[in-house]
Structure 1
Amino acid sequence: MYIDSKKRMKLLFASSNEHKLTEINAILPHGFQLISLKEIHFHDEIPETADTIEGNAIQKATFLADKMNIPCFADDSGLIVPSLNGEPGVYSARYAGPQRDANDNMDLVMEKLDQQSDRSAYFTTIIALYIHHKVHLFEGRIDGTIIHEKRGNNGFGYDPIFVPNGSDKTFAEMTTEEKSAMSHRGKALAKMTEYLKRIG
Protein backbone atom coordinates (compact mmCIF):
# COMPACT_ATOMS: atom_id res chain seq x y z
CA MET A 1 0.00 0.00 0.00
CA TYR A 2 2.96 2.29 0.59
CA ILE A 3 4.31 1.95 -2.97
CA ASP A 4 2.58 3.08 -6.19
CA SER A 5 2.76 1.46 -9.64
CA LYS A 6 5.89 3.48 -10.47
CA LYS A 7 7.62 2.15 -7.33
CA ARG A 8 7.39 5.50 -5.57
CA MET A 9 6.78 5.66 -1.83
CA LYS A 10 3.45 7.32 -1.04
CA LEU A 11 3.57 10.04 1.59
CA LEU A 12 0.45 11.73 2.91
CA PHE A 13 0.95 15.38 3.86
CA ALA A 14 -1.15 16.63 6.76
CA SER A 15 -1.93 20.07 5.38
CA SER A 16 -4.45 21.77 3.10
CA ASN A 17 -2.08 24.70 2.50
CA GLU A 18 -1.68 24.88 -1.29
CA HIS A 19 1.48 27.01 -0.99
CA LYS A 20 3.17 24.35 1.15
CA LEU A 21 2.05 21.60 -1.21
CA THR A 22 3.60 23.44 -4.16
CA GLU A 23 6.88 23.96 -2.31
CA ILE A 24 7.12 20.36 -1.13
CA ASN A 25 6.25 18.94 -4.55
CA ALA A 26 9.10 21.02 -5.98
CA ILE A 27 11.57 19.63 -3.43
CA LEU A 28 10.49 16.00 -3.10
CA PRO A 29 12.79 13.58 -5.01
CA HIS A 30 11.48 11.33 -7.80
CA GLY A 31 11.23 8.26 -5.59
CA PHE A 32 8.34 9.69 -3.60
CA GLN A 33 4.73 10.56 -4.35
CA LEU A 34 3.10 13.32 -2.32
CA ILE A 35 -0.56 12.75 -1.54
CA SER A 36 -2.67 15.70 -0.45
CA LEU A 37 -5.67 15.66 1.86
CA LYS A 38 -7.75 16.89 -1.06
CA GLU A 39 -6.85 13.80 -3.11
CA ILE A 40 -8.18 11.46 -0.43
CA HIS A 41 -11.22 13.68 0.28
CA PHE A 42 -10.16 14.25 3.88
CA HIS A 43 -11.88 17.36 5.19
CA ASP A 44 -11.73 16.96 8.97
CA GLU A 45 -10.12 19.78 10.89
CA ILE A 46 -6.63 18.80 12.02
CA PRO A 47 -5.85 20.02 15.55
CA GLU A 48 -3.00 22.47 16.01
CA THR A 49 -3.20 23.46 19.66
CA ALA A 50 0.26 22.68 21.07
CA ASP A 51 2.32 25.46 22.60
CA THR A 52 5.47 24.62 20.62
CA ILE A 53 6.29 24.27 16.92
CA GLU A 54 7.49 20.71 17.52
CA GLY A 55 4.33 19.87 19.44
CA ASN A 56 2.09 21.10 16.64
CA ALA A 57 3.92 19.02 14.03
CA ILE A 58 3.64 15.87 16.17
CA GLN A 59 -0.01 16.55 16.95
CA LYS A 60 -0.95 16.91 13.28
CA ALA A 61 1.01 13.86 12.12
CA THR A 62 -0.30 11.53 14.82
CA PHE A 63 -3.88 12.74 14.35
CA LEU A 64 -3.76 11.78 10.68
CA ALA A 65 -1.83 8.56 11.30
CA ASP A 66 -4.60 7.36 13.61
CA LYS A 67 -7.03 7.58 10.69
CA MET A 68 -4.94 6.46 7.70
CA ASN A 69 -2.90 3.34 6.98
CA ILE A 70 -0.11 5.13 5.11
CA PRO A 71 3.10 6.96 6.09
CA CYS A 72 2.24 10.57 6.78
CA PHE A 73 4.04 13.71 7.78
CA ALA A 74 3.20 17.17 9.01
CA ASP A 75 5.21 20.30 9.37
CA ASP A 76 4.96 23.36 11.54
CA SER A 77 7.02 26.46 11.01
CA GLY A 78 7.61 29.72 12.77
CA LEU A 79 9.38 33.03 12.38
CA ILE A 80 11.61 33.74 15.37
CA VAL A 81 12.72 37.34 16.03
CA PRO A 82 15.20 37.46 18.95
CA SER A 83 14.67 41.18 19.67
CA LEU A 84 10.94 40.46 20.07
CA ASN A 85 11.68 37.77 22.65
CA GLY A 86 11.23 35.03 20.08
CA GLU A 87 7.90 36.24 18.71
CA PRO A 88 5.90 35.42 16.69
CA GLY A 89 7.17 31.83 17.05
CA VAL A 90 4.47 29.19 17.42
CA TYR A 91 1.85 31.91 16.86
CA SER A 92 3.29 32.99 13.49
CA ALA A 93 0.17 32.19 11.45
CA ARG A 94 -2.18 34.04 13.82
CA TYR A 95 0.17 36.67 15.23
CA ALA A 96 -2.10 39.63 14.47
CA GLY A 97 -5.31 37.79 15.30
CA PRO A 98 -7.51 34.79 14.46
CA GLN A 99 -8.09 36.07 10.92
CA ARG A 100 -4.62 34.66 10.05
CA ASP A 101 -3.97 37.45 7.57
CA ALA A 102 -0.38 37.50 6.29
CA ASN A 103 -0.33 41.25 5.68
CA ASP A 104 -1.61 41.96 9.19
CA ASN A 105 1.03 39.64 10.63
CA MET A 106 3.86 41.30 8.66
CA ASP A 107 2.63 44.79 9.59
CA LEU A 108 2.65 43.89 13.28
CA VAL A 109 6.20 42.49 13.13
CA MET A 110 7.49 45.59 11.30
CA GLU A 111 5.66 47.87 13.73
CA LYS A 112 7.18 46.15 16.75
CA LEU A 113 10.64 46.28 15.16
CA ASP A 114 10.36 49.96 14.28
CA GLN A 115 12.48 51.08 17.25
CA GLN A 116 14.78 48.06 17.28
CA SER A 117 18.31 48.10 15.89
CA ASP A 118 18.55 44.30 15.78
CA ARG A 119 16.32 43.06 12.95
CA SER A 120 17.82 39.58 12.73
CA ALA A 121 15.37 36.68 12.49
CA TYR A 122 15.18 33.07 11.47
CA PHE A 123 12.62 30.64 10.19
CA THR A 124 12.45 27.18 11.66
CA THR A 125 10.51 24.13 10.46
CA ILE A 126 9.91 20.88 12.29
CA ILE A 127 8.66 17.94 10.24
CA ALA A 128 7.06 15.05 12.12
CA LEU A 129 7.04 11.81 10.10
CA TYR A 130 4.84 8.96 11.27
CA ILE A 131 5.95 5.64 9.82
CA HIS A 132 6.06 2.08 11.19
CA HIS A 133 4.14 3.24 14.30
CA LYS A 134 6.80 5.75 15.32
CA VAL A 135 7.29 9.51 15.02
CA HIS A 136 10.57 10.87 13.67
CA LEU A 137 11.46 14.57 13.77
CA PHE A 138 13.49 16.60 11.27
CA GLU A 139 14.44 20.26 11.68
CA GLY A 140 15.43 22.98 9.24
CA ARG A 141 16.50 26.57 9.89
CA ILE A 142 17.40 29.62 7.81
CA ASP A 143 18.77 32.85 9.29
CA GLY A 144 18.15 36.28 7.85
CA THR A 145 16.88 39.81 8.40
CA ILE A 146 13.48 41.51 8.56
CA ILE A 147 13.46 44.44 6.15
CA HIS A 148 11.44 47.67 6.41
CA GLU A 149 9.02 47.08 3.54
CA LYS A 150 7.31 44.23 1.70
CA ARG A 151 8.97 43.08 -1.52
CA GLY A 152 7.94 40.38 -3.97
CA ASN A 153 4.79 38.53 -4.93
CA ASN A 154 5.83 34.89 -4.56
CA GLY A 155 5.81 32.68 -1.51
CA PHE A 156 3.48 33.19 1.44
CA GLY A 157 3.40 34.17 5.09
CA TYR A 158 6.30 36.44 6.07
CA ASP A 159 8.25 35.84 2.84
CA PRO A 160 7.94 39.46 1.54
CA ILE A 161 9.80 40.90 4.57
CA PHE A 162 12.45 38.20 5.11
CA VAL A 163 15.85 38.33 3.37
CA PRO A 164 17.93 35.21 4.07
CA ASN A 165 21.61 35.65 4.85
CA GLY A 166 23.75 35.59 1.72
CA SER A 167 20.99 36.95 -0.53
CA ASP A 168 19.69 40.37 -1.51
CA LYS A 169 16.24 39.01 -2.33
CA THR A 170 13.31 38.36 -0.03
CA PHE A 171 11.83 34.89 -0.15
CA ALA A 172 8.88 36.44 -2.00
CA GLU A 173 11.21 37.69 -4.75
CA MET A 174 12.64 34.22 -5.36
CA THR A 175 11.35 31.46 -7.58
CA THR A 176 10.10 28.33 -5.84
CA GLU A 177 13.32 26.59 -6.83
CA GLU A 178 15.53 29.37 -5.44
CA LYS A 179 13.67 29.46 -2.15
CA SER A 180 13.54 25.67 -1.80
CA ALA A 181 17.30 25.41 -2.26
CA MET A 182 17.92 27.29 0.99
CA SER A 183 14.68 27.38 2.95
CA HIS A 184 13.97 25.97 6.38
CA ARG A 185 11.28 23.71 4.95
CA GLY A 186 13.61 22.50 2.19
CA LYS A 187 16.30 21.59 4.72
CA ALA A 188 13.90 19.69 6.96
CA LEU A 189 12.39 17.86 3.98
CA ALA A 190 15.85 16.88 2.71
CA LYS A 191 16.62 15.30 6.07
CA MET A 192 13.35 13.40 6.01
CA THR A 193 13.82 12.05 2.49
CA GLU A 194 17.39 10.96 3.31
CA TYR A 195 16.06 9.05 6.28
CA LEU A 196 13.37 7.38 4.14
CA LYS A 197 15.97 6.37 1.56
CA ARG A 198 18.10 4.77 4.30
CA ILE A 199 15.27 2.66 5.68
CA GLY A 200 14.18 1.67 2.15
Structure 2
Amino acid sequence: MDTTVWEHATASSAQTDRRESRVVLRAAIVAGMVLVLIIGANQLGLTRPAIASTGTTVTAVDAEPSKASIYLDVRNRGILTERLDAIEIDYPGLTIRDARFIPQTLGAFDTGQVAIDVTIDCAARLPGGEPAWAQTATQTQEPAIRLATTRPWGAVGAPWGRVSDTLPGWDIGWSILNGASGACDPS
Protein backbone atom coordinates (compact mmCIF):
# COMPACT_ATOMS: atom_id res chain seq x y z
CA MET A 1 0.00 0.00 0.00
CA ASP A 2 1.24 3.43 -0.87
CA THR A 3 2.15 5.58 2.14
CA THR A 4 0.10 8.46 0.80
CA VAL A 5 -3.05 6.33 0.72
CA TRP A 6 -2.24 4.99 4.20
CA GLU A 7 -1.71 8.49 5.64
CA HIS A 8 -4.92 9.72 4.03
CA ALA A 9 -6.92 6.75 5.43
CA THR A 10 -5.40 7.21 8.90
CA ALA A 11 -6.14 10.95 8.93
CA SER A 12 -9.70 10.35 7.75
CA SER A 13 -10.22 7.67 10.39
CA ALA A 14 -8.84 9.91 13.15
CA GLN A 15 -11.13 12.75 12.08
CA THR A 16 -14.16 10.43 12.15
CA ASP A 17 -13.13 9.14 15.60
CA ARG A 18 -12.93 12.70 16.96
CA ARG A 19 -16.40 13.55 15.61
CA GLU A 20 -17.91 10.36 17.05
CA SER A 21 -16.21 10.94 20.40
CA ARG A 22 -17.71 14.43 20.60
CA VAL A 23 -21.18 13.08 19.82
CA VAL A 24 -20.88 10.35 22.45
CA LEU A 25 -19.58 12.85 25.03
CA ARG A 26 -22.44 15.28 24.33
CA ALA A 27 -25.01 12.47 24.58
CA ALA A 28 -23.53 11.36 27.92
CA ILE A 29 -23.61 14.92 29.27
CA VAL A 30 -27.23 15.41 28.20
CA ALA A 31 -28.25 12.04 29.71
CA GLY A 32 -26.49 12.93 32.98
CA MET A 33 -28.19 16.33 33.15
CA VAL A 34 -31.61 14.77 32.51
CA LEU A 35 -30.99 12.21 35.27
CA VAL A 36 -29.93 14.93 37.73
CA LEU A 37 -33.04 16.99 36.87
CA ILE A 38 -35.36 14.01 37.36
CA ILE A 39 -33.81 13.12 40.72
CA GLY A 40 -33.84 16.77 41.81
CA ALA A 41 -37.49 17.23 40.81
CA ASN A 42 -38.43 14.12 42.78
CA GLN A 43 -36.45 15.11 45.88
CA LEU A 44 -37.76 18.68 45.89
CA GLY A 45 -41.37 17.54 45.71
CA LEU A 46 -42.14 18.66 42.18
CA THR A 47 -43.37 15.25 41.00
CA ARG A 48 -44.67 13.79 44.29
CA PRO A 49 -45.37 14.94 47.84
CA ALA A 50 -42.11 15.45 49.72
CA ILE A 51 -43.58 14.84 53.17
CA ALA A 52 -41.18 12.98 55.48
CA SER A 53 -41.79 11.73 58.99
CA THR A 54 -39.39 12.95 61.66
CA GLY A 55 -39.94 9.74 63.63
CA THR A 56 -42.12 11.05 66.47
CA THR A 57 -45.58 9.54 66.97
CA VAL A 58 -48.22 10.28 69.59
CA THR A 59 -51.41 8.26 69.93
CA ALA A 60 -54.61 9.20 71.72
CA VAL A 61 -57.11 6.39 72.22
CA ASP A 62 -60.64 7.80 72.40
CA ALA A 63 -63.01 6.98 75.23
CA GLU A 64 -65.34 5.67 72.55
CA PRO A 65 -64.41 2.03 71.80
CA SER A 66 -62.42 1.22 68.67
CA LYS A 67 -61.40 4.80 67.89
CA ALA A 68 -57.99 6.41 68.05
CA SER A 69 -56.09 9.45 66.81
CA ILE A 70 -52.50 9.18 65.65
CA TYR A 71 -50.25 12.22 65.33
CA LEU A 72 -47.06 11.97 63.26
CA ASP A 73 -44.50 14.77 63.25
CA VAL A 74 -43.61 15.56 59.65
CA ARG A 75 -41.52 17.91 57.56
CA ASN A 76 -42.17 19.15 54.04
CA ARG A 77 -38.83 18.55 52.31
CA GLY A 78 -40.14 20.04 49.06
CA ILE A 79 -40.25 23.54 47.65
CA LEU A 80 -44.04 23.59 47.17
CA THR A 81 -46.75 24.24 49.75
CA GLU A 82 -48.67 21.04 50.49
CA ARG A 83 -52.28 20.63 51.68
CA LEU A 84 -53.30 17.11 52.74
CA ASP A 85 -55.98 15.66 50.50
CA ALA A 86 -56.12 12.05 51.70
CA ILE A 87 -54.28 9.18 53.32
CA GLU A 88 -55.18 5.64 52.36
CA ILE A 89 -54.00 2.55 54.22
CA ASP A 90 -54.68 -1.04 53.29
CA TYR A 91 -55.10 -3.08 56.49
CA PRO A 92 -58.02 -5.28 57.60
CA GLY A 93 -60.31 -3.56 60.09
CA LEU A 94 -58.71 -0.10 59.83
CA THR A 95 -60.76 2.79 58.49
CA ILE A 96 -59.43 6.32 58.28
CA ARG A 97 -62.18 8.73 59.32
CA ASP A 98 -60.17 11.91 58.86
CA ALA A 99 -56.61 12.94 58.05
CA ARG A 100 -55.26 16.47 58.14
CA PHE A 101 -52.12 18.55 58.46
CA ILE A 102 -51.60 20.68 61.56
CA PRO A 103 -51.28 23.51 60.50
CA GLN A 104 -53.63 23.08 57.56
CA THR A 105 -50.89 23.65 54.98
CA LEU A 106 -47.17 22.96 55.12
CA GLY A 107 -45.00 25.47 53.29
CA ALA A 108 -41.62 24.70 51.81
CA PHE A 109 -39.36 23.09 54.42
CA ASP A 110 -41.98 23.64 57.21
CA THR A 111 -42.64 21.17 60.00
CA GLY A 112 -45.99 20.15 61.41
CA GLN A 113 -48.09 17.10 62.15
CA VAL A 114 -50.33 14.70 60.31
CA ALA A 115 -53.37 13.91 62.45
CA ILE A 116 -55.08 10.65 61.50
CA ASP A 117 -58.40 9.70 63.12
CA VAL A 118 -59.13 5.99 62.73
CA THR A 119 -61.85 3.48 63.53
CA ILE A 120 -60.76 -0.07 64.25
CA ASP A 121 -62.72 -3.30 63.84
CA CYS A 122 -61.04 -5.31 66.60
CA ALA A 123 -62.53 -8.58 65.28
CA ALA A 124 -60.94 -8.25 61.82
CA ARG A 125 -58.61 -11.00 60.64
CA LEU A 126 -55.58 -11.14 58.37
CA PRO A 127 -55.80 -13.28 55.20
CA GLY A 128 -54.10 -16.16 57.08
CA GLY A 129 -56.82 -16.13 59.77
CA GLU A 130 -54.74 -14.49 62.52
CA PRO A 131 -56.47 -11.65 64.40
CA ALA A 132 -55.42 -8.42 62.64
CA TRP A 133 -55.12 -6.51 65.89
CA ALA A 134 -53.13 -9.02 67.94
CA GLN A 135 -49.90 -7.46 69.21
CA THR A 136 -47.73 -9.82 67.15
CA ALA A 137 -49.67 -9.00 63.97
CA THR A 138 -49.36 -5.23 64.29
CA GLN A 139 -45.63 -5.49 64.98
CA THR A 140 -44.86 -7.56 61.89
CA GLN A 141 -47.12 -5.96 59.27
CA GLU A 142 -46.07 -3.09 57.02
CA PRO A 143 -49.25 -1.97 55.23
CA ALA A 144 -49.13 0.09 52.07
CA ILE A 145 -49.95 3.75 52.60
CA ARG A 146 -50.77 6.32 49.95
CA LEU A 147 -50.51 10.04 50.65
CA ALA A 148 -52.24 12.58 48.39
CA THR A 149 -51.77 16.33 48.61
CA THR A 150 -53.40 19.23 46.81
CA ARG A 151 -51.48 21.87 44.92
CA PRO A 152 -52.73 24.89 42.97
CA TRP A 153 -52.88 22.86 39.75
CA GLY A 154 -54.36 19.65 41.22
CA ALA A 155 -53.75 16.65 43.44
CA VAL A 156 -50.53 14.64 43.58
CA GLY A 157 -50.25 11.25 45.25
CA ALA A 158 -47.52 8.78 46.04
CA PRO A 159 -46.82 5.76 48.22
CA TRP A 160 -45.80 6.86 51.71
CA GLY A 161 -44.07 4.31 53.84
CA ARG A 162 -40.37 3.98 54.39
CA VAL A 163 -39.75 7.72 54.42
CA SER A 164 -38.04 9.13 57.48
CA ASP A 165 -35.46 11.84 57.97
CA THR A 166 -34.12 10.41 61.22
CA LEU A 167 -34.82 6.68 61.13
CA PRO A 168 -33.73 4.95 57.91
CA GLY A 169 -36.05 2.04 57.19
CA TRP A 170 -38.57 3.19 59.79
CA ASP A 171 -42.02 2.26 58.56
CA ILE A 172 -44.86 4.76 58.91
CA GLY A 173 -47.50 2.06 58.41
CA TRP A 174 -46.09 0.07 61.31
CA SER A 175 -46.28 3.16 63.51
CA ILE A 176 -49.92 3.79 62.56
CA LEU A 177 -50.85 0.16 63.28
CA ASN A 178 -49.03 0.18 66.59
CA GLY A 179 -50.82 3.36 67.66
CA ALA A 180 -54.25 2.21 66.50
CA SER A 181 -53.91 -1.19 68.18
CA GLY A 182 -54.27 0.55 71.56
CA ALA A 183 -58.00 0.92 70.85
CA CYS A 184 -58.31 -2.90 70.79
CA ASP A 185 -56.09 -3.52 73.80
CA PRO A 186 -58.27 -4.82 76.66
CA SER A 187 -55.96 -3.41 79.36
TM-score, normalised relative to structure 2: 0.28
Which structure has the highest strand share of the two?
A: 2
Larger of the two Rg values belongs to structure: 2
Which structure has the highest helix share of the two?
A: 1
**Relative contact order (alpha carbons < 8 A, sep ≥ 6): 1 or 2 greater?**
2
